Structure 1
């Protein structure tokens, strides 16, 4: 395996984790809890504290789960934006 390809794989993985962290930081408290609950159910995890500390903050998300997590977070952020816009319209 050449050095460029190894660097590309490392960079891609890091970028995906950074994107996940960025999306998580843009969530409000309610959406963050929904996200952790979804991850617990989807990946059969016992503790949302473990998910927050090791996967999100620690960046140790199993590679095979990263794409699915991005998809889940995108949908939750879309729902959050919809809820906020609905509140603004009804206000």
Structure 2
């Protein structure tokens, strides 16, 4: 069943002003973390839906920027270990 081509968007302009929400994303294929505003992630996901395109990024955490930064710092050790393991296997 095909879906009709329609623009998918969410308008938050009527929401009261508040601190911007940030997200921590993880890419398994790149063994990497990425931090961006929630609004940017939502826009990218809406574009992926419209274009029927996959995304490798998985949402790990959302919150205020300092919370997301701390979560990323807690994850980095695991990513470094995975990269070291990958390099050892290549030898």
TM-score, normalised via structure 2 length: 0.32
In terms of fraction of residues, the more helix-rich structure is 1
* Larger relative contact order (Cα-Cα within 8 Å, sequence gap ≥ 6): 1
Bigger CA radius of gyration: 2
TM-score, normalised via structure 1 length: 0.32
